[in-house]
Each structure stands twice: as structure tokens, then as C-alpha cells.
Amino acid sequence: MKTLDAVVPVYNEEAILPELNRRLVDTLEALPYEWRVVYVDDGSRDRTPELLAGFSDEDSRVGVVHLSRNFGQQLAISAGLAMSTADAVVLLDGDLQDPPEVIPLLVEKWESGYDVVYAVKRDRKEALPKRALFSLFYKILRKLSNVDIPADAGNFSLMDRSVVDVINTMPERDRYVSGLRAYVGGRQTGVEFERAPRYAGQPRQSPLKLVRMATDAFFAFSELPLRLATILGFFVSVIAFLVLLTVLYKRLISGEAIVGWASTMTSILFLGGIQLIAVGVIGEYIGRIYNEAKGRPAWVVGRYRNLSSGSSESLKALHEGRDPT
């Protein structure tokens, strides 16, 4: 029988977990597979760990990875993917915005031969400013990126084992999983779905975390910002050359003297601004290179439940910073 894992990152979701677990397990039970759930507790500080421990005691098919602290959604997802062993892995948010009932639709496409089936949000159940910002984010990302990252396709997706294996071997610490998923390529398709409002509570992804995820996505999937410095440099040089010609003409041919505190100040500030922007862009990349170069484990696991056997030991070792051999 084929196997299916569901990976769910959760951070302080005590109000949602019982309902989520019930609906998720019901959906998986109705499918003709051997299934497992991998919850990733991203350093929750409410009753989430106790609830997860309860689920895993009741059903050995429910596994938990407790991270040692809050590492952020993308790393929590990565930790879950690293523990998955099934033929197909479904990834969904733990706030019931991604309804488990959509999973059979994803599975159907997988069975018909697709490697990646991502769920596309038909309309976002979010306040207008957030919706507008997300649509801007995807527009810019799709323009900048050299990989075809589909718009409005977030975490909710099904990935074939072959795709998950490739993602698991990607060593980077800044992980925008939807981008990595697109990077792998293969046969990918989307399925539209109605995104539900959050079942309870406020988003756990703070605006700051969302901005960080967006910049990670931009810088990890495009070198265009770096090229921007070159483009700006050429642009400014052309202007400077034209200004030089006019100055020489006035001085030598028409004989006017040019007075100008204002013009000097403006050009100094203009150039200073452009240089700072360029240095800032380079700094973004250097910061990321530094982060990778340090080679720290991207996440640290506090404990596993129902997951010690059958999971890839070498991957676990890799991500805990141990020597995999």
C-alpha cells in the first residue's frame, strides 16, 4: 500500500488542535493509504505540546517533532519534511485555513502522475491591506525570480517523495519552501481551493515574520537586486557625462561662470543615496552568505514522539549538526 504523510507546523495553536486533528485524521482515514501525521511544534508556549503528546499517545500514526524553541514557520516545515518517509507528503497550515478536506483533490492529481500539486487560494480571507501586499509580493517575486514560482500558492501542497528528497538535501538555512518546491521542477500543477478564515486566534506569523519571509524569498531566488547596482551605476555615469559636457561648453565656449551650491549639494546627496542603496543590497547578500557560512544547524529538535524509527537518520543528523556517517 502507498504511504502518505501530512506535515503540519504549529505554534501556539491550542485552540485549534483538537478540531484540526479530528478533521485531518478523518480525511486521511478515508484515503486508501497507510498514513502518518507529522506535527512540528515550533517552540509553542501554550498547551500545544501537551495536546500533541496526547494525540501521539492515542495513535501511533501521529508523530511529533518538538523544536527546542521557535524557529519560524519555514524551518518548522523543513524539520517536518526531513522526518517524512512516505511516498507522498502533504503540507498544510495548522490553523485550518488549509482545509484537510481538500487533500483528496491533491491526491487525485498525484495519482494521475504529477510530482507536485499545489493548492491555489481562490480568494484570500484576509483584510484588504494584507491581501494587496500579498498580491504585490507575488508580482515582484515572479518578476525577479529566475524560477517560475506560482502566485497564490503557499505551503498547502502535495509533494512526491522524489521532490521531498531533493528539498531535504538542499543545505540552505534561509528556506522559502514554496520557492524550493518550484525550483525542483518536474510535473507541477495547481488545484484551486477556497481558503478558510483562521479557525481561532490571531495569525502567528507576525507582520515582521512575513516581511522577513518575503525578503528571504526575494534574495534567495534572484540576483537582480545585485545587478540593480550596476544598472544604477551606468545610469548615473551617463548623467555625469552629460553634465560634464554642458559645464565644459559653458565654461569654454559661452564663457558663463556656473554658480551653484544647490546643484553641488543635490548631486552629492543623489550619489550618496545611490551608493548607500547599493551597499545595502550587497549587505543583504553578504549577511545571507555569512549565515550559511556559519553552518549552524537550521533548527534544533528537543524531542520526537512516534518518530524515532523509520525516519531518515542521516538527514536528522545533518540537520542537528552531527556528522551523518
- Regarding 97 and contact with Mg ion (CB under 5 A), the answer is yes
CA 153 to chain centre: 11
Residues, the chain, total? 325
Distance (Å, rounded) from C-alpha 12 to C-alpha 48? 6
**Nearer to Mg ion (CB atom), residue 90 or residue 318:** 90
Round to whole Å and give the CA distance between 169 and 283: 27
Note whether 99 binds ligand UDP by CB under 6 A: no
For residue 207, give Cα distances in angstroms to 19, 145, 214, 262.
26, 23, 10, 40
User: Does 66 help bind ligand UDP (rule: CB under 6 A)?
Assistant: no
Give, in degrees to the nearest 5, the angle at Cα 292 between 286 and 293: 85
Q: At closest approach, how far in Å is the CB of 57 from ligand UDP?
A: 21
x-or-dash string of contact with ligand UDP, 266-305, rule CB under 6 A: ----------------------------------------
Sign of the dihedral through C-alpha 130, 133, 139, 142: negative
Q: Is 204 in the site for ligand UDP (CB under 6 A)?
A: yes
Rule CB under 6 A: say whether 205 interacts with ligand UDP. Answer: yes
Contacts (Cβ under 8 Å, ≥6 apart) of 84: 5, 7, 36, 38, 164, 311
Would you count residue 201 as binding ligand UDP (CB under 6 A)?
A: no
Choosing among Mg ion, ligand UDP, none, which partner's interface includes residue 11 (Cβ < 5 to 8 Å by kind)?
ligand UDP
- Give me the residue label for grid cell 549577511: 287
In DSSP terms, 35 is beta-bridged to 4
Indicate which of ligand UDP, Mg ion, none lies near residue 204 (CB less than 5 to 8 Å, by partner kind): ligand UDP
Least distance (Å) between residue 94 CB and Mg ion = 8
Long-range contacts of the stretch 233-242 (C-beta < 8 A, 24+): 233/274, 233/278, 236/270, 236/271, 236/274
* Interaction partner, residue 72 (Mg ion, ligand UDP, none; CB < 5-8 Å by kind): ligand UDP
Neighbour tally for 214: CB within 10 Å: 18
Least Å distance between CB 47 and ligand UDP? Answer: 14
Interacting residue with ligand UDP among 49, 63, 80, 94 (CB under 6 A): 94
11 is a contact residue toward ligand UDP (CB under 6 A) = yes
Rule CB under 6 A: which residues touch ligand UDP? 9-11, 13, 42, 70, 72-73, 76, 93-95, 97, 198, 203-205
Positions that interact with Mg ion (CB under 5 A): 95, 97, 198
